[in-house]
Structure 1
């Protein structure tokens, strides 16, 4: 079984890598569709030849690496089970303590550590590319700090969730998935409330926006949209990246309007106001709450399907892998494998919904600001600054993009101006 796994992994992953390489480096056409030529969406009208070449190179390499890394997590989970590492992790936990409340978090820690180490090379190469192409300005030590911070935060949350989940599996054999889903609802709401004030400040320094005149204009936009905000936060991102961003997140009293300092440094005031109007549009159209509702619905479907697939998989393969019960913590890699596969299969639908929401926010922003020149200029500057591919290959767009392409967004804004003049 182990030899077959190694052989087929090399063959299938090798073929997958070859097809990916051909798709991104040979078959994808970086040219501009005829209908966009000469418009504001045509990168030749706002990017130099060097910038255009760099953006195409950088995007191609990053997309290739992202897709190359996609199945590696699945391979790790399969390998952990086939080579018996899940049994070793379980036995180690049993030696450390006889209490499951200790054994389960320890198993999660061992599995998370192994997975992170095996996937680290892809993450490191992506980071190096970002540095070499001038996107990332973050030192290796700072990057590693963020990586380790994410690891421990992720482990802490997963340790709690998986411990509760496997207790439910043991006690409620046929209804654990439903009870787990009901418990996830307040957890998701709580995390949405907690994110802006507890988790985000662990990574970056947040302070009040220094430009009080700009803050007043942004708060005026927020007031027109009935957003209960009395300040705008500026976050120091220039020490980590040259990319630009702004967002509105959180709920209730923890709602925050946030601007990256890179955005403030590189965009004109009217362009910043358009970007903020876009983010305000998400709030006005309740996208934050729709995202929460979508996560709750997706969790329900995911746990229901996982329940059935996990039961079938344990019955079919569990004995060969060293466990015969779903509630055995050694089945966790199988649980993760099913969830990640389901997440991948659901991503095209989720991303399509997200792209639609982003397009709605763009329309809201242009209607609110009535400044098409600033809208187009802001997206053009975002493209140049982040070396974004304005027209990515279809595989990238439908499997990785939660926003319309920059070409689509700029073209829509330019046409909006023409329709208004008519």
Structure 2
């Protein structure tokens, strides 16, 4: 196989594998749904509050997102990227690259700081955020540090491999990228999550026993239920599953335990058990490993041997930002289908469509979730179905099983 044809063939094979995995493993259809209608279950006051919140929040959050994309693109796709590398005047490329990566990340964080702060103020005004400004700044610093470490590792690895194997660097890099995604997904619960929250085992009692019994009935091995101290940052209600194998954990927010009814908490936990039962984290990791391998091959096709030039580090970051932005709609589409399956699992496990609908309503009101986002926001940012879509599933499931749920708004 020629050096020129090999990356094209590898790219096509990995892309085909990625498409096959997504198409064959994503639950595209679970149940026929009625048309979602917020007016059936949300009062005019609740709808108005949600609209006012989003009207106040979205200009700032959208501006921050646009800046976070435009800044690295403007630098990376212009001569400015190389000039910034030269300004560093560091003789060792393996010192210059980390400094440049960290500096560009810091620059983006500083540029988006004002609009991020204005968005944060809106969440405070509506009672959604409870964290101090000191904790908010600390979270931003930790996030910048973690992202810098990840991007530095990627940049150093790619450039080092390209320097060693000018033509075939992409082959070991693709394998390394896939292994990196696998490792990060496995280690994330024990290395990253504790940087933002403290986790404690749920205290022994009737509620914990009920959760463990629910897991046993579902055939999902759960050693423990962890409680995150989310209330130091937010009033939002949530739970999640992360990791796989020995690092898999079921986590509930302390706000959920404190502010939701036992029946609603049970349904949320059943939803998370659905993720565990279907190995959704592992499924997402598999897609991520193939995506990482494809991204490396694509870099080879775009940059070739120029990947060995550390002066193109800013261009590399711009290409990474471009790729993740373009991939977001597909990732969110798959995520919404996976989340819908977990909702369906929750309904099957609890056989409680009435409380399911009331739970989705309560979560949406407390979290001030968007009820009818614009089409582009839905495709670009929505990793979960909208609350009316989730309520429609609960109502459809209840009707199909002889337990119809009437509208919550009379």
The TM-score by the shorter chain falls in which range?
A: 0.7 to 0.9
Cα deviation code 1:293-317 (max 9, x no counterpart): 1101111222222322235xx9xxx
User: RMSD in angstroms over aligned alpha carbons?
Assistant: 2.2
Aligned residue in 2 for 1:412: 393
Contact 2:72 2:321 in 1 (8 A): no
Q: TM-score, normalised by structure 1?
A: 0.82
Are 1:114 and 2:95 counterparts? no
Instruction: Give the structure, 1 or 2, with the largest relative contact order (CA under 8 Å, sep 6 or more).
Output: 2
Question: In the alignment, is the contact (CA less than 8 A) between 2:200 and 2:228 conserved in 1?
Answer: yes
Query: Is 1:246 aligned to residue 227 of structure 2?
Result: no
Tell me if structure 2 keeps the 8 A contact 1:54–1:133: no
1:395 aligned onto 2:376: yes
> Matched residues in 2 for 1:197 and 1:78: separation?
33
Q: CA deviation at 1:352?
A: 1.1
The answer for the alignment partner of 2:63 in structure 1 is 68
Contact 1:379 1:406 in 2 (8 A): yes
CA distance in 1, matches of 2:278, 2:58: 31
Q: Against the structure 1 CA distance between its residues 71 and 367, is the aligned structure 2 distance closer, same or farther, given a 3 Å change threshold? A: same
Instruction: State the Cα distance separating 1:43 from its structure 2 match.
Output: 4.6
Alignment correspondent of 1:343: 324
Q: 1:54 aligns with which of 49, 53, 61?
A: 49
Query: Quick check: 61-70 or 364-373, which moved more?
Result: 61-70
Q: Equivalent residue for 1:146?
A: 139
Partner of 2:92: 99
Greater shift in the superposed pair: 190-199 or 131-140: 190-199
Structure 1 counterpart of 2:196: 203
| Distance (whole Å) between structure 2 residues aligned to residue 275 and residue 134 of structure 1 | 22
Superposed, 1:23-422 pairs within 5 Å as 36=36, 42-43=38-39, 45-47=41-43, 49-81=44-76, 85-95=80-90, 98-210=91-203, 212-311=205-304, 325-421=306-402
SS of match in other structure, 1:326 = helix
Q: Gaps spanning 5+ residues in structure 2: where?
A: 1-33, 404-410
Q: Which residue of 2 aligns with 1:18?
A: none
Paired with 1:43 and 1:268, the residues of 2 have a C-alpha distance of: 24
Runs of 4+ that moved beyond 4 A: 34-37, 81-85
Distance in 2 between residues matched to 1:75 and 1:310, nearest whole Å? 21
- Distance, in Å, in 2 between the alignment partners of 1:296 and 1:36 is 35
Provide the rounded CA distance (Å) in 2 between the counterparts of 1:150 and 1:268: 33
Rounded to whole Å, the distance in 2 between the matches of 1:137 and 1:418 is 39
Change (3 A) 1:211 1:64: farther
In structure 1, distance between residues paired with 2:186 and 2:326: 28
Gaps of 5+ in 1: 1-33, 315-324
Hey, what's the Cα distance between the residues in 1 that align with 2:381 and 2:73? 24
2:244 and 2:217 map into 1 onto residues whose CA distance is 18
1:141-161: CA deviation from partner (whole Å, max 9, x where unpaired) = 110011111111221222222
**TM-score, normalised via structure 2 length:** 0.84
